[in-house]
Amino acid sequence: MLVVIGNTKIGKALHVNLPLGAPRGLGFEAFKSGTCPGASLWCLENCYGIDRPPSEDPESIGALMRAIELSLGDLKAFKETIVGELLDKARFLEASGDTLEDGSVPVRLHVIGDFYHPDYARAWLDIVDELKGLKFKFWTYTKSWWTEKVAETYARIGLKNPQALAEELLSTLQELRRRENFTLYASTDKTMPDITERPEMRSWLEAGIEFTYNKKSITCPEIPCVVCKYCIYGRGHVKFLERRSKVRLIPKPWKTPLSSKAWKEFMRAEKDEIEKYLEFIRNFQKTNKP
C-alpha cells in the first residue's frame, strides 16, 4: 500500500507521503532519509513532522517508506502501483459520498515529503495525465521551486550537474501546475527568497507561514481541507499560522468553515483535550523517534 485514505487535518482524501526533511547521505540513497531538497532554515527548525509523529497511523508511516523505495528503484512500477491504488481506493470515497461537489476524488500529495528529483516529478506528471478525465483532483505544496537551495542539496549529496537538475525539477513542476486536475502551491517562509521578485514564480500560488510575499492572501481556518476546499481548487494565496500547528490533529466532525471568533471559542473549550493530545505526542516521540 502506497496510497492512504484521509487524516484529521485534510479529511477524507487520498494521500501519498514520502520521508520528510533534507536528504542525508550520498547519491539517491540520501533520499531515503529525506525528500525535501528545498528545505529552508525555518523547515529544519520547525517542521511539524519533527515535533509530532509523522502520522496517526503506523501503517501510513510504512506506506511512505514503501513509496520512496519503489520510486527510487522502479519508477514504472511506482506509477502503475499509484494509479491502481488511486482507482481502487477512490471507490471507497465515492461509495460513502466523500467526494467534491463535482464528484471528484481529492488527492493530497506529500502531507510530509516533497518532489525530490525531476524523474520523480515527471512520474507524477504521467500519473496525473493518465487519470485525466477520471475525476481526480490533486493538490499539494512544494519548496522544490527554490532552485538555489535544491542545487545546493544536490551538490552536497553528490548528484551530477546539480544546477541543471534543479532547473529541470522546476521546469517539470511548471508543467505539473498547468494541469487542470492539479493545484500546486509554492511553499514559502521568512527564511526563503521573495517569490514575487522572480519572474518565473509570479504566476504561482503561494502558501506561506505567518505571512505571504504576495499581499493578498487568506489565513487557513484550520479545518479539514475537504471542508474548506480553498487550496484544493487553488482559489488564491494562503498563509498558515504557526501557533495552530500543534492542534491540527484534534478530530472534530466539521461541517462548515469556522470564523475567527468560532475558532477562538473552540480553542478555549478544547484546551484540556488539546493538552491530552500533546501529551500523547510527547509520549509517542519517546518510544518512536523518526
| Per-residue model confidence as pLDDT tens digits over 145-161 | 999 999 999 999 999 99
What does the block give as the cell for 61?
508511516
pLDDT band at 51 (very low <50, low <70, confident <90, very high): very low
Please check the confidence at residue 258 and state whether its pLDDT lies above 50. Answer: no
Strands (E), the chain: 4-7, 11-16, 105-109, 136-142, 182-188, 205-209, 217-219, 237-240
Render pLDDT for 54-104 as a digit per residue (tens, 0 to 9): 544 556 677 888 999 999 999 999 999 999 999 999 988 888 888 888 899
pLDDT score at 77: 97
Place of cell 487520498: 14
Render pLDDT for 185-223 as a digit per residue (tens, 0 to 9): 999 999 999 999 999 998 999 999 989 999 989 888 878
Question: What is the CA angle 214-232-253, rounded to 5?
Answer: 115
Nearest partner of 70 among 58, 57, 83, judged by Cα: 83
Contacts of 28 (CB under 8 A, 6+ apart): 72, 117
